[in-house]
Structure 1
Amino acid sequence: MIIFRYLAKEVLISMAAVTLVLLLIIMSGRFISYLSIAAAGEIPMEAVFYYLLFRMPGFLELILPLGLFLGILLAYGRLYLESEMVVLQATGMSQRRLTVYTLGPALFTALLVSLMSLYLSPVGANQTEIMLQKQRNIGEFDVITEGRFQTMPRGNRVTYIENLDSLSGTMRGVFISEKVKLDSREQAVMVVAEKGRSYTNPETGIRYLVLDNGYRYEGNPGEADYRQIRFEEYGIRLPDQQP
């Protein structure tokens, strides 16, 4: 039993080290991809950590068997290198007995992988889908970040807000550029306003972005036929949220 605990400890320590290194490599790649998505405004920054957390069981489900294999090679390779395995064989340790002892950490790893495959990974995938669905239902200007040009998920609108009051929702220094169809042809429309706010019609439930004290420019770059409109209050209807 002392030999079994010693061998199992060596294998599990090596497996944990290998698994941690592989997990860090995979998670860092995912973290960078999620950060790029969050920087584009498709998901909030504070949700990146939860996306990684919910995906971790799925990563471990694939990494743990490989970590076990490499852990056995590293642990037993060190024992052979330091002649500890020769001593064990001299005291009566056979290959069959060594294999049976190795099945202990392997069985423990199999139970962990089965737990993640049958329970933790589906729960994490379900929670990820719930977060994505909630994100799809969030309006375009609910994930805006001040001081940064952001492309909206549809890709036809670029928004910049100089300052955003998180408590009142008031925006200052608003710039919006988008492509719209005017007079049966596509034109560039730019709106610049001193401040803005979100407004929901209590009767219809339709949401608007209300801008104050600004200009609206219509026309394509390089063409002389453009229009400039000055406004004191201007409302932009926001896309309806799908349930």
Structure 2
Amino acid sequence: MIFARTYKRELTVLTLAVFLVLLAIICTTLIVRFLGMAASGRLATEAVMITLGFAALRYLPILLSLSMFIAILLALTRSHRDHEMEVWQSSGLSVSDWIKPTLSFATPILLLIAILSFSLSPWAVRKSDTYRQKLMSQDETAAIAPGIFKESKQADRVFFIENFSGDNGSATNIFVQSEKNGKIRLVSSNQGYLSADDAGNRILVLTNGRQYEGEPGSSVYRIIEFQRYTVLVPPRDGALSASPIQGVRTQELLRDLNNEKHAELAWRLGSPIGAVLLVMLAVPLSFVKPRAGRSLNLVLAILIYMVYSNMLSVMQAWIAQGKVHPIIGLWPVHLTLMGLIFVLLALRSGKLHQWRMGA
């Protein structure tokens, strides 16, 4: 089985390379979005990397499926381009003979995809949501990004801190604007720090600054210089919202099933099934004529994957909306792709032509 060992070795290298490239792309996209959220104060700066890790873990099943799909296409297409496949075919190997080593290589990764889909990915979504809500329940200064004007949750106060070292740390060049009874109050200070009063309330202490108070549009303002000024930092609403359905444990999905839970359960079950189908689809798609072009099968593979992925999303939405019965689920999409795989295998192996001649 020389061809199987050579084939698996090449698949290992290609799958790892493709996975790292896809992981770098998704991480770059996510970190740009999270940094934008941190810059606007919607996400704490120290939470960016942790949130990125949870998000990457959530997308691992899709990345692994795509990595294997692309690696198989590249490996077998290269064999055709370099005329190696002609040698194997002249030795008696057919298209179906490549299914067994392909599935043998993919089995450990398929098991990992199943574990991720049913357990680890929901755990990552659940932990990410819990961590996000924990940060949102903290006081307003927890979400202040240095150098960014941040409005309070009640929309009656604006903070600006040039440099901020975090909880219980010091701050420099502080600006606070508030509005009360139709009057604007501006407080500025070069130094400040976070503290707590006797009742346990968090306060922002400003030192050696000025306060300007007056009505908008009026030229009369009261200016007060102070050595110590305290600003109460109100805590945010600590009420936790419901966890997203993507983070619900699989065991809990099986209890009191509704349309939304049926849709999520069908998606988790369809993740490893789809990975198996993509692995099998890549084999017949890779068998092309050298004169047909090097990238024709890759374009066709991308098109089929996009249609398949979009149809799964549409069917999942229909299940959640009650338009498709849960028993039907995502099976029509999977069965359609499975039928396409058998047709392509028959075409590549010449069996379809034999069936027509026999008929």
TM range (shorter): 0.7 to 0.9
Find the aligned partners of 1:217 and 1:81 in 2 and give their Cα distance: 76
CA contact (8 A) 1:193 1:215 kept: yes
Query: Which protein has the bigger helix share?
Result: 2
Q: TM-score, normalised by structure 1?
A: 0.83
CA contact (8 A) 2:195 2:204 kept: yes
- Which position in structure 2 is the counterpart of 1:192? 188
Question: In the alignment, is residue 22 of structure 1 matched against residue 10 of structure 2?
Answer: no
Give the match's secondary structure for 2:103: helix
Give the match's secondary structure for 1:11: helix
Pick closer, same or farther for the CA change 1:159–1:153 going to 2, 3 Å.
closer
- Which position in structure 1 is the counterpart of 2:47? 47
- Which position in structure 2 is the counterpart of 1:177? 177
- Which position in structure 1 is the counterpart of 2:205? 210
CA contact (8 A) 2:138 2:235 kept: no
- Which position in structure 2 is the counterpart of 1:92? 92
Find the aligned partners of 2:163 and 2:231 in 1 and give their Cα distance: 19
Deviation at 1:121, TM superposition (A): 0.9
- Which position in structure 1 is the counterpart of 2:229? 234
Moved more, 61-70 or 82-91: 61-70
* 1:177-206 CA distance string (max 9 Å, x none): 34x232xx4x5432112432323223x322
Pick closer, same or farther for the CA change 1:26–1:166 going to 2, 3 Å.
closer
* Aligned pairs (5 A) from 1:74-89: 74-89=74-89
The Cα RMSD (Å) is 2.7
CA contact (8 A) 1:11 1:71 kept: yes
* Aligned pairs (5 A) from 1:7-18: 7-18=7-18
Instruction: Count residues in correspondence.
Output: 237
Give the match's secondary structure for 1:234: strand
Question: In the alignment, is residue 109 of structure 1 matched against residue 105 of structure 2?
Answer: no
Of all paired residues, the percent bearing the same amino acid is 32
Deviation at 1:79, TM superposition (A): 0.5
Query: Which protein has the bigger strand share?
Result: 1
* 1:69-88 CA distance string (max 9 Å, x none): 22111110000111111111
Pick closer, same or farther for the CA change 1:4–1:220 going to 2, 3 Å.
farther
Deviation at 1:28, TM superposition (A): 0.6
- Give the partner amino acid of 2:79: L
- Give the partner amino acid of 1:213: N
Q: Which runs of 5+ in 1 are unaligned?
A: none
Find the aligned partners of 1:220 and 1:32 in 2 and give their Cα distance: 41
Pick closer, same or farther for the CA change 1:19–1:170 going to 2, 3 Å.
closer
CA contact (8 A) 1:58 1:121 kept: yes
Moved more, 8-17 or 163-172: 163-172
Q: Which runs of 5+ in 2 are unaligned?
A: 239-359
Moved more, 154-163 or 51-60: 154-163
Pick closer, same or farther for the CA change 1:165–1:33 going to 2, 3 Å.
closer
CA contact (8 A) 2:209 2:226 kept: yes
